[in-house]
Amino acid sequence: MNNTDSKKLIWASWSTVLTKSPLNPPAKRGLTLAAVCGYPDLTQSKRIQLGNRTENAINLAIKNHPATTSQKGDGTSLWMNTDTNEVSTGGNGQGQKDMDCCFTLNNENDYVYYFEIKTNLNLDTEKSEATIEKVKKITTCLEKSRRYPRGVFSSHLSPFWDNTDVVISSTMKHHADIMFFGEFCELMGWTITRADWIDMLQDVGKNFLKEQL
């Protein structure tokens, strides 16, 4: 075949294949906590650190809230012994399950709130199933402890205000209880808006992340 016919043949093949079977669109990246803070390209290591600091900040806010009694402060480890159904603080918690957030509200010490704080809801199947099972297990232990006769509220807590532009894995979406930060503020009686929260996170980026990168 001459040059022209050869090129036409190969181009027609490409055209036919890609018309019938176009490439899948790129996966939606969605919103990240680092991006809201103004640093979308934060390294994975720094993202993990930011997630840990977010958990500590939320726990400290709960601890300092006059209407709550927190079982965990800003940096204290909190553990559930799944054999005895007892909650303890400090130490390395060997053989126990760590708890992100646990508190009572408005002096109602017979009803408890327990959350696992997740800055990333787009987890793979294995990690999704693990965190869902963990919440179920600890919830059962809290119920069995008989310290909270009125009940236990448990969920995954996301620091995003709502689900706008947040990518959630299929397993988390269909099988996990998720509370977004806007809903959490309603629960806590914190009268801030979505804009207030975003401004706060951006100030975190400007005033702290910029100096610590």
190 class by beta-carbon count within 10 Å (0-12 exposed, 13-18 middle, 19+ buried) = middle
Quickly state the pLDDT bin for 196 (edges 50, 70, 90). very high
**C-alpha pair distances (Å), 81 with each of 28, 120, 142, 156:** 39, 26, 10, 20
- pLDDT at position 29, please? 58
Q: Pull the structure tokens for residue 101.
A: 């957030």
Residue 34 to residue 40: CA distance in whole angstroms: 5
Q: Which pLDDT score, from 0 to 100, does residue 31 have?
A: 79
Cβ atoms within 10 Å of 67's Cβ, excluding its own = 13
pLDDT of residue 24: 66
pLDDT of 28 reads: 52
pTM for this model (two decimals):
0.83
Q: Where are the domains of the chain?
A: 3-212
Grouping H, G, I as helix, E, B as strand and the rest as coil, residue 78 is: strand
Q: What rounded mean pLDDT belongs to the chain?
A: 89
Q: Which of 99, 92, 156 is nearest to 129 (CA)?
A: 156
Q: What is the mean pLDDT of residues 196-211?
A: 86
* 11 has a pLDDT exceeding 70: yes
Amino acid at 103: F
- Predicted confidence at residue 19, as pLDDT, reads 83
DSSP H stretches of helix in the chain: 3-20, 33-36, 44-64, 125-144, 170-175, 181-188, 194-204, 210-212
